[in-house]
Structure 1
Amino acid sequence: MSMFLDAVFPRLTASQCAEITTSLWHGIEDAMSLMADVVLPAEYHSTLLEQTNLLLAELSVMRESH
């Protein structure tokens, strides 16, 4: 996954980064609402949050660098 991101992120425009950020937030919100009734290990939630935050941070850096 990181190799994919390394290949794709440098080619994104600031506008694309903003669109992806919005889309990612909606997707995470949808996933969290679906998981509300499902018992999952705490590690799952912490990993999801960690990976989401990493992606959002990288998108923010890419958006600001353009």
Structure 2
Amino acid sequence: MNNLDEALGQMSQVVTANTKKIGILAARAMVLGKFFDMVLPQLTASQCVEISQSFRGGIEDAMSLMDDVALPGEYHSALLELTNVILRLLKESGQDR
């Protein structure tokens, strides 16, 4: 019974640590999203084009670093989905200027 309590205690610690990490990631995502929402309307058309090109290169670099790491399909899907949303918003914002 003591081993069971110990195992449950360890599992509880892991869950608590992971919950804190997820909370930190969620907070960072929210702040970066709000920053993007506030900055995007301030950009000129040429800035949108320049940022899009630089952003594409940065994402490609980041993806190449992860080539040797086995990550779940959900990671790649989320990365590509958000990347495409940002690029689309930059393009639309640049066209509106």
The equivalent residue for 1:2 is: 33
Q: Return the alpha-carbon distance in structure 2 between the equivalents of residues 5 and 36 of structure 1.
A: 27
Structure 2 equivalent of residue 43 of structure 1: 74
Task: Say which SS state the counterpart of residue 39 (structure 1) adopts.
Answer: coil
Where does residue 4 of structure 2 map in the other structure?
A: none
Give the greater-gyration-radius structure (CA): 2
TM-score (norm 1): 0.93
Write out the 4+ residue segments of structure 1 that deviate beyond 4 Å after TM superposition: none
Which structure has more relative contact order (CA 8 Å, sep 6+)? It is: 1
* In structure 2, C-alpha distance between the alignment counterparts of 1:17 and 1:41, rounded to whole Å: 31
- In 1, the alpha carbon distance for the partners of 2:96 and 2:37 equals 15
How many correspondences in the alignment?
A: 66
Instruction: Name stretches of at least 5 consecutive residues in structure 2 with no aligned partner.
Output: 1-31
Aligned 1:14-33 pairs, distance under 5 A: 14-33=45-64
- Cα RMSD (Å) of the superposition? 0.8
- Which amino acid is 1:7 matched to? M
